[in-house]
Copies of this chain bind each other. A is one copy, B any other.
Amino acid sequence: MVETQHRIGEKSGDDSEAATMSDIAGSTPGMVWDAWGVPAGRKPLSDQLRGLVTQVFGVSGDPVTRRDEGDVPLRESALTSTLRDGLAEVVGADNVSTDHFDRLRHAGGKSTPDLLRRQRAATQQAPDAVVFPADHDEVLAVLAHCAQHSIAVVPFGGGTSVVGGVDPLRGGFAAVITLDLRRLDAFVSIDPVSATATLGAGLSGPGAEELLREQGFSLGHFPQSFEFASIGGFAATRSSGQASAGYGRFDSMVQRLRVATPQGALDLGRGPASAAGPDLRALFVGSEGAFGVLTEVTVRVHPVPDYVVYQAWSFPDFSTGAAAMRAVVQEGAQPTVFRLSDEAETGLNLARAGDIGGQTVSGCLAITTFEGSAAHVAARSAEAGALLAANGGTSLGEAPAKEWEHGRFSAPYMRDALLDLGVLCETLETATTWANLANLKSKVTAALNGSLRDQGAQPLVMCHISHTYRSGASLYFTVVAKQLDDPITQWYTAKKAAGDVMIAEGATITHHHAVGTDHRDWLPEEVGDLGVRVLRAVKAELDPTGIMNPEKLVS
């Protein structure tokens, strides 16, 4: 097979590369309060898809009426003027807000239950104030002040959590503030020789990428939340992006961390690798604001690659496709992006935004991209392509892969469109070994189907692999069903069934969504009671009064 190497930066015929680059340019937009993203990103469903959805799921299709942001009642701010003045002394009065809109836009994250609560709850929960510190030292001072005055603190990056990670919970304290880190947006430094960059925790994904590209570098971290999430949030939640096969999980990108805690600051990570005791960076990557606030992250970056090759593949079924992926990854020939949709997802064209609901496609679609120098891309795509072909894959050329890239940040907008039609749509994810993958997929699917059917709403459950490792892979499930009377309870009931199966089958409760409140009760099963005690001991040392993000990660 002859593939086309696309020179990055050159305009390609179908504009897909240009579109991707314009998607990620610009400053950090704040998201709307009751849905994903920004109004400009919303894409109404096609008439065809809307017709299909209303028919399949038995919903009326009448769109939900959205509430006016200014009219939504909030719980009253519990922050006394004395406490407020104290915070204002630290960050300046302009940077302590009890404004209705600021509070409402920090009411929580973007899980489906979060969005359903925005539509349904009469009074919305909200932080008692939103505080905007300017830098690391101000964060330290705010934490010291809050520890002294028993105010709970919720660190907030892009607000994209789907596990309750930024819920403004008071946790027994008299008041809770949300610490919005958007002003920590410095491009602190770049080391082009070592290919590392030190970034403020509040930089958004596009903000960081834009600043890096001006220097000829890229981070290469593109999770679904990319357009709104922050550098600090990527680290605090152990994020993993769509190019993780090529550039690694965010965990592996972190070289150095600066952390502000109620007990002082930490500066962790000296050089690329060390044996100087346990890697303490790993305690803060994934700490979800429960120990302190990540204020600065030094990340591994890479020169903007010269070329990219796109290749799509079809496999007769999911297990054949997964075995082919395994062959590639275990040989060490993995692409930059490496995904496989199951039969249900492939059939609905969910990986190809332009074609969703179009003509049904059989088999399983796999997407690969290869980035690097001309020689690197040629060698890698040839090696991986030969292995995929030898393991049952049929080349589909580059078009489906480019279509996937073009639409890759649009799924959460489609969720909004479905939710508005009265359809429940949510995702959950896990990871396990290759040997356990088919078993786990089958049992999680059965648990979701069983729970939702028993509740009276036969779902459609789709799945893909989007993160691969030598020993295993992630499984990402998308679930669509009719909303019943109480869709929040409906979803949590189904999620409980699925999560219990993950734990029972030896898998992790979350591959890249983090713990927050939604996965907290599974954590003792994930790491054991003694593991939870270790986390509590670390928290007690760094946050002895327990103000940091109460009720998240550990209770």
Binding site for B on A (CB under 8 A): 191, 193-196, 237-240, 246, 249, 251, 255, 261, 263-268, 270-280, 282-288, 300, 302-303, 326, 330-333, 372-373, 375-376, 379-380, 382-383, 386, 430-436, 467, 469-474, 506-515, 519, 522-523, 526-528, 530-531, 533-538, 540-542, 553-554
Contacts and interface: CB of A to CB of B under 8 A. Distances in A.
SS class, residues of chain A in contact with chain B: mixed
Contacts of A273: 240, 249, 251, 431, 467, 469, 472, 474, 508, 511-512
B271 A195 contact: no
A274 B473 CA distance: 10
B194 A274 contact: no
B285 A278 contact: yes
Given A266-B531, A276-B526, A534-B538, 19 more contacts: A193-B433, A195-B330, A237-B275, A246-B332, A264-B530, A270-B432, A271-B436, A272-B472, A273-B431, A273-B469, A275-B286, A276-B508, A276-B523, A277-B554, A278-B285, A302-B470, A376-B383, A534-B542, A537-B537
28 contacts: A194-B471, A238-B279, A240-B273, A246-B332, A251-B279, A264-B530, A266-B528, A271-B431, A271-B471, A271-B472, A273-B469, A273-B474, A273-B511, A274-B431, A274-B509, A276-B514, A277-B288, A277-B554, A278-B287, A282-B283, A283-B534, A302-B470, A303-B330, A331-B376, A379-B383, A533-B541, A537-B541, A538-B538
Nearest to A196: B471
A270 B276 CA distance: 25
A528 B261 CA distance: 13
A17 to B, nearest CB: 21
A330 to B, nearest CB: 6
Nearest to A537: B541
Contacts of A536: 541
A240 B276 CA distance: 13
- Going nearest first, the 10 A-B pairs with the smallest beta carbon separation are A282-B282, A272-B469, A194-B433, A272-B472, A537-B541, A238-B275, A274-B508, A193-B435, A278-B286, A271-B431
A263 B270 CA distance: 32
A280 B533 contact: no
Contacts of A265: 528, 530
Contacts of A514: 275-277
A289 to B, nearest CB: 12
A507 B542 contact: no
Contacts of A267: 528
Given A268-B527, A271-B432, A537-B541, A195 B470 contact: yes
